[in-house]
Structure 1
Amino acid sequence: MQNIHFIAIGGSIMHNLAIALHKKGYTISGSDDEIFEPSYSKLKKYDLLPKQEGWQTDLITNDLDAVIVGMHAKPDNPELAKAKELGIKIYSFPEYIYEQSKDKQRVVIAGSHGKTSITSIVIHVLKHFKRKFDFAVGAQLEGFELMVQLTDAPIIIIEGDEYLSSPIDSTPKFLKYHHHIGLISGVAWDHINVFPSEENYVSQFDKFADASPKAGTLVYCEEDPMATVIGAKGREDVHEIAYNTHPYVIENGTTYLINGKENIPIKIFGKHNLQNINGAKEVLKKIGISEEEFYDAIESFKGPHNRLQLVKQNEQTAVYKDFAHAPSKVKATTLALREQYAERDLVACLELHTFSSLNKSFLSQYKGSMKYSYKPIVYYNPDTIAHKGLEPISKEDIIKAFDERNLKVYTDSNELMAYLKDQNWKDKNLLLMSSGTFNHLNYEELATEIIN
């Protein structure tokens, strides 16, 4: 059993790994300069919450077997500097996951969109049939306390992020896992702060595909042009599998998978989710789950937390929230709700919160992304732009970039909420999309007011 220290233990995936190792019997310490919910309560529950905020160099001693550094830390972090000085082994999150899974079959799900959902489906089906497996996924899943599980299982399912591995390692995370089975759901430029050009961004997925080992498997969505270019190279030593949108029908607000003469009701919807279902099915076939077993398990899948998640509804209105923030995700999510509730109007509200979405040179990528909403709304906080050190953007910049006739833009969250509460919601749905919080919005309270 090892003695591990976490630099930036409060990160969304970092605190999950810390707890997973603690439950495994490891001795865990950690530090951070700020820790928010739900990380705070989870770390406190396991007595892993740092005793004080800030970086504590006295925690870095020769007694440590390893230090794991999270993306929230900066390259000049004093704890990191001391760990280097003492010669302690330093890992990024993906490097440590690989270290823990060297002897396992590694399945890595990558893509600009859909990777969380596909990973979640695979995990759900494996759990349904009581298979032994480990996982690392970027969202909370129903039936699991943690987003990371490390045991003696023979296989691990990993959501493969293309973002940087750590503050001192610019390698995309998904290249650190060394997959046996890899999947690319789609490729659409994102993370402009790290990948300044679309070509540079796409090349990371090319590297991921080329990292497929001999006799390995690469699964890709053939309905995504760039994923197809990357996935269908005809490598003789790699098994390439293409998938597309699963056949479906929508009846009375429920989506059904068409499987021969059988229609199977599911709890999720939207074209991208139907692509995700087929992608997961292909991966599961490679690890011993038959199609019959897959259809038996998929009916009960409710989707990961914050992905097209129903907040509240009545007979004429539904309020959904979604993690969508990149242009391709925004477009796919609004289309999904528009198709699922064809008889209702859609009010779609997007918060610009990420580095890319608040970057003036990236805004044009959002053109047409909200065309499936009859009343599109964009909210952003100028203070967030200043905090990220970006060039200020105006409401006019956003209106021009999105090019939506009825677009409304808000910079004050109170004004936005007042506007939403003042609407007539008969035969209308509300979709709230953000990787942020709409300035600490209580989704339940807003949905209750709208529904009532």
Structure 2
Amino acid sequence: MNSNFNNIHIIAIGGAVMSSLGIALKKSGAKVTGSDDKIYDPALSNLQQNNLLPAEGWDEANIHKDLDTVIVGMHAKADNPELKKAQDLGLTILSYPEFIRSQSEHKQRIVIAGSHGKTTITGMIVHVLNYLNKPCDYLLGAKIKGIDNTIQLSNAPIIVIEGDEYFTSPLDQSPKFLKYDHHIALISGTEWDHINVYPTADSYIEQFELLADSSPKAGSLLYCEDDRMAMIIGSKERDDVRAIPYKTPKYKVKNGQFILDGEHPLKVFGKHNMQNLEGARKLLDLLGVTDQQFYEAIQSYEGAEKRNNLVQANDSSAIYSDFAHAPSKVKATVHAVNELHPDRKLTACFELHTFSSLNKEYLPNYADKMKYADTAIVYYNKATLEAKGDTVLSTDELKAFFNEKNLLVFTDSDELKNYLNKQNWKNHDLLMMSSGNFGGLNLSELADNLLS
């Protein structure tokens, strides 16, 4: 780690990335403190285990002239009292992307961006490099099975960064992925997301154009040509920038397992993951990884912890959970489970939980995204809807938005649970998709009941 940063305070340490950053910095030998007004698991438990869990709330006493830097997360507001004191004292204040950039001056910087797939592709690249004992640093937006922390900072010559298009900090409304000054960038997809900060699809896509246009001379830009806008952005002529397209490779499904290129069995599944895998392969080729090395290593990759997660299964039924919330992710996940067990009935249940998914201007983007399910269910919590400023979302409206005339709609988690308990689960899979928790529904208990 850069020796100029030995005494660090993190404002809004409770976020997934911010908590991992604090842990990584402490393990590197830095003195780290943090603060937040609300902290939830898994960040809460992780911070507690590493003796970094702060008292709840903001405290100006945390900010003093002996700090080398203050790192501020997006959860903090611009008028945060700790942030204001740091400004008054003239301390160095960095967003976490700016801090990561400061730690990677002499590294080859690789940024993985896109509306979907960026966590998975980043995880695949890191997994393969680890498997081959090639040292690398990394920043992941979610926990990957087999990778202990989501951030690693060392003396490695490479850093692989999951590049988020969301705002950088309360003081900087440009996207995070522009802060890293990449040498290699990958754009996996451009389906409109984050409607709360990008109110139109064009304003969202523009951020990926900015990323592509910031590619340096002798740099490389990979893009998924299965995504129309990614292809348009990626194939634009740029001076001395190598443009590398990729698309879904050939694969087959046999006995509930995806097999790539005819002979490489995988632990992940779904067409979207085959596409992600191809992007990772093409990028790793730039780092000197051969196809033979890649296919050997990727067979043991198990994926992100909250993506395509098998909760429980028996001989004729399986229950999956997934973090899917954006339209492209919902479609990809439903299709993946349908493709895995094509002879089984599939019930897919999706919780409207995010700002975007509860917005009537955005909801039409979910049309046909659950068409691969035999039974499509939408759940939302009325209190969540009200908290986001709306009180009315009718069943007929949702049927129209999803283009599903037989769509089932639930607003009570007990009623949803009772409905699921009454179904016959022989030769029948269940997929539960949410970035929330279905009103406190315990999926492990539900799985026990359904499969017993």
Which bracket does the TM-score occupy, shorter chain normalised?
over 0.9
In the alignment, the residues of structure 1 paired with residue 389 and residue 172 of structure 2 have an alpha-carbon distance, to the nearest angstrom, of 22
In the alignment, the residues of structure 2 paired with residue 46 and residue 102 of structure 1 have an alpha-carbon distance, to the nearest angstrom, of 28
Amino acid at match of 1:63: D
Q: Which residue pairs with 2:125 in the alignment?
A: 122
Amino acid at match of 1:171: S
Amino acid at match of 1:174: F
Match status 1:100 vs 2:103: yes
Aligned residues of 1:219 and 1:231 also touching (Cα < 8 A): yes
In the alignment, the residues of structure 2 paired with residue 412 and residue 150 of structure 1 have an alpha-carbon distance, to the nearest angstrom, of 44
Aligned residues of 2:221 and 2:244 also touching (Cα < 8 A): yes
Q: Which residue pairs with 2:162 in the alignment?
A: 159
Amino acid at match of 1:297: A
Q: Which residue pairs with 1:310 in the alignment?
A: 310
Q: Which residue pairs with 1:371 in the alignment?
A: 371
CA drift of 1:388 comes to 2.9
Per-residue CA shift, 1:272-327, capped at 9, x if unaligned? 11100100001101111111100110111111111111111111101111111011
Aligned residues of 1:360 and 1:391 also touching (Cα < 8 A): no
Q: Which residue pairs with 2:399 in the alignment?
A: 399
Per-residue CA shift, 1:200-259, capped at 9, x if unaligned? 00000000100111000000111110100000013241011011111111111111111x
Aligned residues of 1:359 and 1:391 also touching (Cα < 8 A): no
In the alignment, the residues of structure 1 paired with residue 390 and residue 105 of structure 2 have an alpha-carbon distance, to the nearest angstrom, of 41
Task: Tell me: CA distance 1:390–1:210, structure 2 relative to 1, closer, same or farther (3 Å).
Answer: farther
Q: Which residue pairs with 2:345 in the alignment?
A: 345
Match status 1:221 vs 2:224: yes
Q: Which residue pairs with 1:380 in the alignment?
A: 380
Q: Which residue pairs with 1:416 in the alignment?
A: 416
Per-residue CA shift, 1:170-220, capped at 9, x if unaligned? 111111111111000111011111000011000000001001110000001
Per-residue CA shift, 1:17-43, capped at 9, x if unaligned? 000000001111111111111111111
Q: Which residue pairs with 2:278 in the alignment?
A: 278
TM-score w.r.t. structure 1 length?
0.97
Q: Which residue pairs with 2:360 in the alignment?
A: 360
Q: Which residue pairs with 2:172 in the alignment?
A: 169
Q: Which residue pairs with 1:183 in the alignment?
A: 186
Superposition pairs for residues 250-329 of structure 1, below 5 Å? 250-258=253-261, 262-329=262-329
Per-residue CA shift, 1:327-366, capped at 9, x if unaligned? 1111111111111111011100001111110111111111
User: Equivalent residue of 1:188, what SS?
Assistant: coil
Q: Which residue pairs with 2:214 in the alignment?
A: 211
Q: Which residue pairs with 1:36 in the alignment?
A: 40
In the alignment, the residues of structure 1 paired with residue 151 and residue 391 of structure 2 have an alpha-carbon distance, to the nearest angstrom, of 37
- Residue of 78, 81, 86 corresponding to 2:81: 78
In the alignment, the residues of structure 2 paired with residue 413 and residue 324 of structure 1 have an alpha-carbon distance, to the nearest angstrom, of 18
In the alignment, the residues of structure 2 paired with residue 251 and residue 316 of structure 1 have an alpha-carbon distance, to the nearest angstrom, of 16
Superposition pairs for residues 186-197 of structure 1, below 5 Å? 186-197=189-200
In the alignment, the residues of structure 2 paired with residue 181 and residue 81 of structure 1 have an alpha-carbon distance, to the nearest angstrom, of 36
- Residue of 24, 31, 48 corresponding to 2:52: 48
In the alignment, the residues of structure 2 paired with residue 314 and residue 38 of structure 1 have an alpha-carbon distance, to the nearest angstrom, of 29
Task: Tell me: CA distance 1:109–1:391, structure 2 relative to 1, closer, same or farther (3 Å).
Answer: farther
In the alignment, the residues of structure 2 paired with residue 89 and residue 391 of structure 1 have an alpha-carbon distance, to the nearest angstrom, of 43
CA drift of 1:406 comes to 1.5
Superposition pairs for residues 128-139 of structure 1, below 5 Å? 128-139=131-142
TM-score w.r.t. structure 2 length?
0.97
Aligned residues of 2:185 and 2:212 also touching (Cα < 8 A): yes
In the alignment, the residues of structure 1 paired with residue 98 and residue 421 of structure 2 have an alpha-carbon distance, to the nearest angstrom, of 47
For this pair of structures, how many residues does the alignment match? 448
In the alignment, the residues of structure 2 paired with residue 321 and residue 397 of structure 1 have an alpha-carbon distance, to the nearest angstrom, of 26
Aligned residues of 1:374 and 1:406 also touching (Cα < 8 A): no
User: Equivalent residue of 1:227, what SS?
Assistant: helix
In the alignment, the residues of structure 2 paired with residue 400 and residue 362 of structure 1 have an alpha-carbon distance, to the nearest angstrom, of 13
Amino acid at match of 1:282: K
In the alignment, the residues of structure 2 paired with residue 443 and residue 87 of structure 1 have an alpha-carbon distance, to the nearest angstrom, of 49
Aligned residues of 1:4 and 1:26 also touching (Cα < 8 A): yes
**Identical amino acids, percent of aligned pairs:** 53
Amino acid at match of 2:252: V
- Residue of 4, 17, 20 corresponding to 1:16: 20
In the alignment, the residues of structure 1 paired with residue 390 and residue 241 of structure 2 have an alpha-carbon distance, to the nearest angstrom, of 43
In the alignment, the residues of structure 1 paired with residue 393 and residue 75 of structure 2 have an alpha-carbon distance, to the nearest angstrom, of 25
Task: Tell me: CA distance 1:85–1:392, structure 2 relative to 1, closer, same or farther (3 Å).
Answer: farther
User: Equivalent residue of 1:122, what SS?
Assistant: helix
User: Equivalent residue of 1:273, what SS?
Assistant: helix
In the alignment, the residues of structure 1 paired with residue 326 and residue 243 of structure 2 have an alpha-carbon distance, to the nearest angstrom, of 28
Amino acid at match of 2:356: S
Amino acid at match of 2:44: Y
CA drift of 1:405 comes to 2.0
CA drift of 1:440 comes to 2.7
Amino acid at match of 2:48: K
Amino acid at match of 1:304: A
User: Equivalent residue of 2:405, what SS?
Assistant: coil
Structure 2 unmatched runs, 5+: none
Aligned residues of 1:5 and 1:29 also touching (Cα < 8 A): yes
Structure 1 unmatched runs, 5+: none
In the alignment, the residues of structure 2 paired with residue 208 and residue 438 of structure 1 have an alpha-carbon distance, to the nearest angstrom, of 36
CA drift of 1:391 comes to 5.9
Which moved further from structure 2: 186-195 or 382-391? 382-391
